[in-house]
Structure 1
């Protein structure tokens, strides 16, 4: 009998290899930017990202914190809330160490959740690596963009995706880039990644007013004391109302902006102290909003979170409507009012046309807010080798500005590490452990100096 020949029908199907994981790194320099960056990474790499029509790739997100004066503490990381990254596995790095990590670990996507100057430094540092296959570079803003629009945007130019949190921002961003002859194709409309929560529903017997404080707005002691005093007076006028002062950080901690006059310290000096129905609270903003019936602020991004959930929201005009305060962003919103009116029971109603341009997606469109950005990232991942990073600022176009920005992160004008800035390889476990202990002690001393001692010296100089 002749041997039986095999054919395709007789052969068992060969199982397909599982898709490789999509590797994403988030580099952040403060607690709020960490929250923005981690949640943005998750929204951009939802099932299907980078996989075309062949199915979803698993996603691995690595967390990296850029060492500096605002590097978040473990408590701040824990209070950010659920972002899909284990806070215990987040690493702290310098700019040069970050470049080593990207070179050695081979990420597909890097989210730069940093202040503008740090974004520019990382873009030039990554360009200098000349990787054969570089990652897709994503950046953006953590909230309302109310100052340094051109400066901040041009420092972010060179990323593959510059996220805008609203249609309003996307139009402004493109206008800036096009106005200086820069490529504006990276600007991509999305929304704030941390909007969410249940729509507002009043509860019988609950009456809670929350003042969302900001670390640097307003800046002066007189203005901050005024706001605190009015909050106290509001609580005393309405003894049956729960009044909460929502704080971003505890004394000695820094967030995205430096807080040299913490409300906690000002409250300690108030004659008569705080009324029993007024409390200072920390924690995740979403959890506070779950029990809020009126949110009051000067210009905090918390207003957008509140509006997204249709919670009554007020933006104060007591200190003026000024660019320095950021409340000018809310002109046309219908939300600007004063403590006097709030004391009398006024509740502002937002202008629907203004809302539609601000990315708060209170109309239910939030579910699709990241579709365009996700498609752009997927397309870039599928394109193969990407072109070299090309920021607007170069040593030729900004020779009096760029070198100083890069030097702050120990990079030369060409993006390479300055002499002595390259992190040496650890010479063994024991010596490596000793070196890390010494580094941790130095970091602690540095933070104590910039977060505790320096503000005291500055205040003493103002006396």
Structure 2
């Protein structure tokens, strides 16, 4: 009987990450199924197609756990907190069913620009934590050691869409320039308007170059990070030169023809370096965690628009490249699948030991006691009673009941209004 692998994703970036790994397992004869759980998700037909899939299945949380616990391999591409809830409840289901359970694989779908430690701890209850860089691996190993967590589930794999060694950087004239946009970086409208205007100005200054703005998604589509100010809306009414355009072609399909990629902190910069593109990371707004560019301080690629316009571009620091493009004799996905095959065949699961540590036992207990959404440990009615008691203690009997009612019964806009009234001590 062929082995089976379950892939879980909710957004396009997660689906693309799962897709690369799915191709590896499918090539080894696994029966593969891709599922979108009933958590916050958004996948348009075009996003599904761009990720290389014909279709995906939808499934409620409880059924997903039932299917997962009897799978050979589960690849979870969900965000950290949801992955943590999934791993807690999968461990509970596995114990209740008296089975060894699947090999649970987790990781990051791109460069980690925030919650680096928290993200690892959300995933440390899995059997394979696929780590993207040497720097991340060293950090996670240190954190795990401090908390008494076993390290045998940490696997240095690299990102699935990167090769072991990038192509030489192109040196010819710059003819095509691509700006890789991000949904929430920068987050404020005035910041986005500034960046987009600088791109338009660059196009005017270099009429012999094609300047392409690649939005993260089309208007009406969604990603894990919600975009509030789409470039089409921000640039509406701003005069643009003939050599400037907005284009939605997937980045992977155009990189071979791009001479320079500009971005704030997108993982796409690594894809560009891999394909030999020159890269500039925008420095005009400063260095800040909300831009994610603090992780690129050692890259050698941070530049102002003035420097970019003058073609004063950097070259990547060797140590930065070596962290993401480290020597290995296999692809990233082969490293992941080889380890999974080994664990399936042996019937061993590193996560079983991890769940016996003080840290994960307490983390699991806290999740079961407090979680109230998909991935929560209590039935919905029990969640509501616990939440009601908590709000009554905090606000008093009358306001506590009103606060619980606002969460349970009212739409968000009325919910916010009622919470404000309760917080300010007013009566309805």
TM-score (normalizing by structure 2):
0.81
The aligned runs of 1:42-191 (5 Å cut-off) are: 42-43=23-24, 45=25, 57-80=28-51, 82=52, 86-88=53-55, 90-103=56-69, 106-130=70-94, 131=97, 132-191=99-158
Q: Distance in 1 between matches of 2:367 and 2:66?
A: 25
Q: Distance in 1 between matches of 2:382 and 2:220?
A: 31
**1:107–1:163 distance in 2 versus 1, CA, 3 Å:** same
**Alpha-carbon deviation of 1:41?**
3.5
Q: Distance in 1 between matches of 2:350 and 2:107?
A: 20
Q: Which of these residues, 171, 189, 211, is aligned with residue 243 of structure 1?
A: 211
Conserved 8 A contact 1:360-1:366? no
Q: Distance in 2 between matches of 1:407 and 1:344?
A: 54
Conserved 8 A contact 1:410-1:418? no
Structure 1 unmatched runs, 5+:
1-19, 48-56, 422-448, 458-463
- The yes-or-no answer on 1:337 pairing with 2:303 is yes
**1:294–1:93 distance in 2 versus 1, CA, 3 Å:** same
Aligned residue for 1:226, secondary structure, equals helix
Aligned residue for 1:87, secondary structure, equals coil
**1:395–1:190 distance in 2 versus 1, CA, 3 Å:** closer
Q: Distance in 1 between matches of 2:350 and 2:146?
A: 23
Structure 2 unmatched runs, 5+:
384-410, 418-428
Deviation per residue, 1:293-323 (Å, 9 max, x gap): 0000110000011111221011111110222
Aligned residue for 1:325, secondary structure, equals coil
State which structure, 1 or 2, has the greater radius of gyration over its C-alpha atoms. 1
**1:345–1:33 distance in 2 versus 1, CA, 3 Å:** same
Higher relative contact order (CA 8 A, sep 6+): 1
Q: Distance in 2 between matches of 1:305 and 1:87?
A: 24
Aligned residue for 1:407, secondary structure, equals coil
What residue number does 1:408 align with? Answer: 373
The alignment covers a number of residue pairs equal to 381
Aligned residue for 2:8, secondary structure, equals strand
Q: Which of these residues, 160, 166, 173, is aligned with residue 193 of structure 1?
A: 160
Deviation per residue, 1:431-452 (Å, 9 max, x gap): xxxxxxxxxxxxxxxxxx99xx
CA RMSD for the aligned pairs? Answer: 3.0
Q: Distance in 1 between matches of 2:5 and 2:303?
A: 43
- The yes-or-no answer on 1:36 pairing with 2:36 is no
TM-score (normalizing by structure 1):
0.75
What residue number does 1:444 align with? Answer: none
Q: Distance in 2 between matches of 1:402 and 1:292?
A: 49
